[in-house]
Amino acid sequence: MSLAGMVGVVSAEGESDPTLARNLAATCANCHGTDGRAQPGPGMDALAGGDADRMMQKLRDFRSGARPATIMHQISRGYTEAQLQLIAAYFAARK
């Protein structure tokens, strides 16, 4: 699925896309599990139900290079701050 196809934040009527956060978060499923419910294991955090502010800090640290990663530093740079906030809020709301 193309990220360009998912980034339409505003519809023609000017309303927010209600599925945007879910669509952006879907890109995390390969590593963090469906809906952020990763299987326990080394290095793979479950995201569902996590603290949104803490997730945002981790994402910012990945983006800046302050937090070491194999791929998250590249992935996090592909999103705007607003998109990362949508993703963090989406996973925080999953219980």
Q: What is the pLDDT of residue 41?
A: 72
Closest CA to 79 of 95, 63, 91, 90: 63
The answer for residues whose C-beta is within 8 angstroms of residue 21's C-beta and 6 or more apart is: 86, 87, 89, 90
Q: What is the pLDDT of residue 11?
A: 37
Q: Percent of the chain at pLDDT above 70?
A: 83
The predicted-structure confidence for 46-70, as pLDDT tens digits, reads as follows 899 999 999 999 999 999 999 999 8
Q: What is the pLDDT of residue 45?
A: 84
Would you place residue 79 in the very low, low, confident or very high pLDDT band (cuts 50, 70, 90)?
Answer: very high
Average of pLDDT values for 71-89?
95
Is residue 19 classed as helix, strand or coil in its secondary structure? coil
Would you place residue 1 in the very low, low, confident or very high pLDDT band (cuts 50, 70, 90)?
Answer: very low
